[in-house]
Chain A
Amino acid sequence: MGELDQRIDVLQQSGFVDEIGREDLEKLVKVLTQDYGFPHSDELLGVLVTHVAAALKRQRDGEVINPIEGDILEDVISSKVYPEAREIKDKIVASMTNQLSRDEENFILVHVGGMLMNPDAIKARKGDVQ
């Protein structure tokens, strides 16, 4: 079992996600790895999976998150990776059974933007690194 699967197991066993939430996390992983070529070993993918699990728990608990800082969001929106980041974020959101708030979606957008700007992930997606 890879670390990403272990991570999802821990998040389910500790109550961050239920069975449907787990499936949502697996769909997210599928979008990023199969559709967009990110390696399972991408550490930032693990961070995103963990973030979304926490977001699902927040939603279930009725906890509202403060919106992401405007300048952080603007950094991604004004970057050259924004069109792809938004496309990936939209695909992730559409794949999930659970619905997330706009503020939570913005956190996903920023995470995905960070993944697209990560030099290691860029190499891996080009096939330079397995």
Chain B
Amino acid sequence: MRIAVGGLNRNEMEAAVRKAAPDAEVIPTNDMQGASLLKQGKADYYFGACNSGGGAAISILIGLVGYSKCCTVCKNGSTPNQQEIEDFVKQGKIVFGMTVDSLQKTVPLLVDALEKYGTAN
């Protein structure tokens, strides 16, 4: 599983992904490059964080990869929901936005869902 990570607090995101998915290849990047990596098949997923979870984190990916592949797994003012995250993964989403505040809780749930239901398996 190859996961590109970008957005705000990228180092924290990278560390959280490495902790949750020790066997995954983690690729620190930004949203523009992350979109290219997905389109070139050099990454399977993109995780991005911002303060709102759905704005700066994934807007460029929505433009470059397509809305149908993108989702916000945790918006500001809410908490990550395992069932909702699994549903997104089952729908074939590959770009995941979340709030900076929630990433420590969201990343393990998302990695777990991707390991169970992800398209890269």
Contact = CB atoms under 8 A, between A and B. Distances in A.
Contacts of A111: 51, 56
A39 interface: no
A66 B55 contact: no
Interface stretch (A26-34, A45-53, A88-96, A121-129): A45-53
A6 interface: yes
Nearest to A9: B63
A47 B101 contact: no
Contacts of B77: 66-67, 69
A3 B55 contact: no
Given A11-B63, A43-B30, A47-B7, A54 B55 contact: yes
A43 B50 CA distance: 13
Given A46-B30, A69-B101, A54 B63 contact: no
Interface of B: 7-8, 30-32, 50-52, 54-56, 59-60, 62-64, 75-78, 101
B76 A50 contact: no
Contacts, number: 72
Contacts of B64: 10, 14
B52 A107 contact: yes
A110 interface: yes
Q: Which of B55, B75, B76 has the most chain A CB atoms closer than 10 A to its own CB? A: B55
A20 interface: no
A58 B76 CA distance: 14
A10 B54 CA distance: 16
A3 B60 CA distance: 12
A100 interface: no
Given A6-B32, A11-B63, A50 B75 contact: no
B8 A65 contact: no
Given A47-B7, A50-B31, A107-B52, A68 B59 contact: no
23 contacts: A7-B60, A10-B60, A11-B60, A14-B62, A16-B62, A16-B63, A43-B30, A46-B31, A47-B7, A47-B50, A47-B56, A50-B56, A50-B60, A54-B54, A54-B56, A65-B76, A68-B51, A68-B52, A69-B77, A107-B51, A107-B55, A111-B56, A114-B8
B30 A51 contact: no
A11 B59 contact: yes
A1 interface: no
A55 interface: yes
